[in-house]
């Protein structure tokens, strides 16, 4: 079976990134789950964004099928964009996915675990913007 799309979750908070990763894995159900890595907070454990943690996470989940990166806000968005603009900082086939963080993460992990390709994962995550709650 071919490799699944990898998912990277970037949040200002290490706890948020790790918890959303756990939530998404849990909701993905049984069977094979796509690789998910959290890149939360700064390297010294504070609130913020670490380019190094993002690089490590993307490399860890890259199986050759592409990597979908979901971000929370502000510097997380800008850091991933800047790393992608650099060209050689993140694995080939890494993409910033425009999606709500929690709902998008669940949709991305479920889709990637079901064998969806990077386009399908990105579309499923982005679609989560459409679920109204009130």
Partner 1 sequence: MLDAEFFRRWLTGAAAAVDREADRLTELDSAIGDADHGSNMRRGFAAVVRALEEEPSGTPGSLLVLAGRQLISTVGGASGPLYGTLLRRTGKALGDAAEVAPVQLAEALRVGVAAVAQLGGAKAGDKTMLDALEPAVEALGESLGASFAAAAEAADEGALATVPMRARKGRASYLGERSVGHQDPGATSSALLVAALSSAAEGAR
Q: Can you give the binding site for partner 1, defined by CB under 8 A?
A: 42, 46-52, 74-75, 78-79, 81-83, 85-86
For the bound state, the minimum distance from the C-beta of residue 63 to partner 1, rounded and expressed in Å, comes to 25
Q: How far is the CB of 71 from partner 1 (least distance, A)?
A: 12
Q: Kindly tell me the burial class for residue 100, based on how many C-beta atoms sit within 10 Å of its own C-beta (0-12, 13-18, 19 or more).
A: middle
Exposed, middle or buried: residue 132 (CB in 10 Å: 0-12, 13-18, 19+)? exposed
Dihedral sign computed on CA atoms, order 113, 60, 126, 121: negative
Query: What is the closest distance, in whole angstroms, from the C-beta atom of residue 13 to partner 1 in the complex?
Result: 13
Minimum Å distance from CB 92 to partner 1?
19
């Amino acid at each position: 079976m071919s490799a699944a799309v990898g998912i990277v979750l970037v949040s200002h908070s290490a706890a948020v990134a790790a918890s959303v990763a756990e939530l998404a894995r849990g909701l993905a159900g049984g069977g094979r789950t796509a690789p998910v890595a959290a890149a939360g907070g700064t390297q010294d454990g504070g609130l913020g964004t670490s380019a190094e943690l993002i690089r490590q996470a993307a490399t860890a989940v890259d199986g050759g099928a592409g990597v979908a990166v979901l971000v929370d806000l502000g510097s997380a968005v800008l850091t991933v964009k800047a790393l992608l603009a650099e060209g050689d900082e993140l694995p080939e086939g890494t993409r910033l996915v425009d999606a709500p963080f929690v709902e998008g993460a669940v949709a991305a992990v479920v889709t990637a675990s079901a064998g969806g390709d990077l386009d399908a994962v990105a579309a499923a995550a982005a679609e989560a913007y459409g679920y109204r709650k009130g």
